[in-house]
Amino acid sequence: MGLSDLALTAIAALAIGALIGAIGIGGVLLTPWLTHVIGLPVREAIVISSFAFIGTGAAALIISLRTLRGAGSVNWSLIIATAPGALLGAWALAVIPGRLALALLATLTIAVGIKALLQNSARNEHHARSAPVPGIPIGGLTGFASALTGTGGPMVLVPVLLYRGLPMREAILLGQAVQLPIAALATAGNLYLGGVDVAAGAAIGLMLVPGAFLGHRLAGVLPLAALTRLVGLTLIAAGLSLAIKAAM
C-alpha cells in the first residue's frame, strides 16, 4: 500500500474503529474497504485486516474484561477456544475458497440484524438473563469463521450470542473480548503459511485504536433501544457487504 492509500484508509479506519468500540461490530467493513476502494486482492486484504485487529483487540480485551469481571461474567472457556479455531481458519484461508463461508456468514448476519430491529429491547434484555452460557464449541467456531473471513471475532460472535438470547451489552462486551486471541493466532498462522504485510497492518491497526476508544465512550451514553437499532442496522449493512464479496 502506498502513502496515499494509507492516508485514505486512516479516515475510514477511525470510523470503523468507532463502530468496533461502540457495538463490537465494524471490523467486517475493513476487508471490503481494502478490496473495493484500495484494490487489494481478497486474501491479502483479509490477512492485513486480521493483523490490524491486534491493536483494537488488546484495547477491547482490557475494557471488556474489566466490565465483565465486575458483572461476574468472564467466559474464559469461550475466549480461549477461539485460539485453535483461528489457527484452523488461517489454514483454511490458504487452501480453500472462502465464498461459501462468506455467504453463510452474510445470511446469519442479515437475519440477526433484522431480528434486532424488530425486537422489543427492554423485553429482550429481561428475557435474555436466563439465556444459556455459550461454551467451547461456539468459541472454536468463532475463531475459525473470523480468521477465514477476516471479519474479526465480534462480527461472528455477537450475532450468535444475540440469537441465543444474551443481553445486548453483554454480547457486545464478550464479542470484543475475543478479538485479540483471534487476531493474534490468525496472524501467526498467516505468517507461517504465506506472509503478512506487517507495515500496512500495523499502520491500519494504529488508526483503528483511537476510533475504538471514542466508540466505547459513545456506547456508554447510548440508551439500549438506540444501541439495539444501531447494531441491527450495522449487521444488515455488514451482511450485505459480505454477500457482495461472496458473489465476486
Asked if 15 and 211 touch (Cβ cutoff 8 Å), the reply is yes
- Range with the largest mean pLDDT of 15-19, 125-129, 152-156: 15-19
Percentage of residues of the chain with pLDDT beyond 90: 1
Within a 10 A sphere around the Cβ of 226, how many other Cβ atoms? 11
- pLDDT band, residue 131 (cuts 50/70/90): low
- pLDDT band, residue 128 (cuts 50/70/90): very low
Cα Rg for the chain, rounded, in angstroms? 16
Q: Which three cell numbers stand for residue 64?
A: 471488556
Mean pLDDT of 109-130: 62
- Among 171, 202, 183, CA closest to 86: 183
Residue-wise pLDDT tens digits, 73-113: 667 888 889 989 988 888 887 777 667 767 776 787 787 77
Query: Virtual CA dihedral for 128, 132, 137, 138, nearest 10 degrees?
Result: 0
- pLDDT of the residue at 59: 79
Per the structure, the count of domains in the chain is 1
Asked if 143 and 178 touch (Cβ cutoff 8 Å), the reply is yes
Please tell me the distance from the alpha carbon of residue 115 to that of residue 127, in angstroms, as a whole number.
Answer: 15
Q: What is the value of pTM for the model shown?
A: 0.74
Domain containing residue 95? 3-247
